[in-house]
Amino acid sequence: MTKSSRFAAPFVAATTIAALEMMSHSLLHMQALQVDEFLSLLLISALASRLKLKLPGMDSNMSVNLPFLMLAVIRLSLFEALLVALVSTAVQSVPKPRELWQPVKVLFNVNSMVLAAGVGALVFRSQFLVKPTQSFGALPLVLTGCAFFLVNTLAVAMIIALTESTNVFKTWGTICRLSFPYYLECTGLTSIVLTVNRHVGWQVPLAILPVMVASYGCYKLFFGQASQALKTVSVTLSKADAKRMTAGAS
């Protein structure tokens, strides 16, 4: 066990405590539940969470449930939004057939997304950004997307760096390059849904699932090509190393 990997367990414990604190805060400030919209977003985010992709060259994945989590943060109470994030991420973390169940990994994934949703909700409702009597503008939504992006990617980069003894900044940079377009897309899509939602109703989010399915197909193609390229480079380097060792031995 490396020195850095010994810090992985305390880091997971810290995220668990922080997530529990966030849930406790939401319970203390619980508001009236919006049952129909809550159940709708809970179900569709859970379905979208199963459309997940492995990030090329990394032991991490992402799913296409982010716009539904952002809508939950914006449209629902904090407690409801955290429940949507918790259930959706738990469903995302269920292993596929022939994959091993990793309880600690599931715990960390759930904690980090609960924290991302909680921070996003607090940012969106911050009195420094918007007054309760005014309509929500673009800035709170953009900063909410930034909160999701920063909390989630930094947490993932940290745990990967601790468990694999890699440089956290390089790891975070790689995650950012792979996932930033996705976060940008989801923030823009959420903005469109909120605009249409004012004139139609809460059922509008159901209509964006096909958009996210199409996005999943695009990212799957891109990530698949990137993974293949990484494998090709790895094989080429291995062959080059083998040739050098053979030449040195002779």
Report the CATH number that the domain containing residue 68 is assigned in CATH: 1.10.1760.20
Query: Greater confidence, 96 or 201?
Result: 96
CB 114 within 8 A of CB 147: no
Distance of alpha carbon 234 from alpha carbon 219, whole angstroms: 22
Q: Is the pLDDT of residue 55 over 70?
A: yes
Return all residues near 72 (Cβ < 8 A) that are at least 6 apart.
Answer: 38, 41, 42, 45, 80, 81, 84, 85, 117
pLDDT at 189 over 70: yes
Number of domains in the chain: 1
Helix (H) or strand (E) holding 37: helix 35-49
Asked if residue 48 has pLDDT above 60, the reply is yes
* Alpha carbons 19 and 222: distance in angstroms, whole number: 33
Q: Which of 53-57, 67-71, 81-85, 187-191 has the lowest mean pLDDT?
A: 53-57
Q: Can you tell me the mean pLDDT for 159-174?
A: 90
Provide the whole-model pTM.
0.82
- Domain encompassing residue 193: 5-249
Given a cut of 50, whether residue 133 has pLDDT beyond it is no
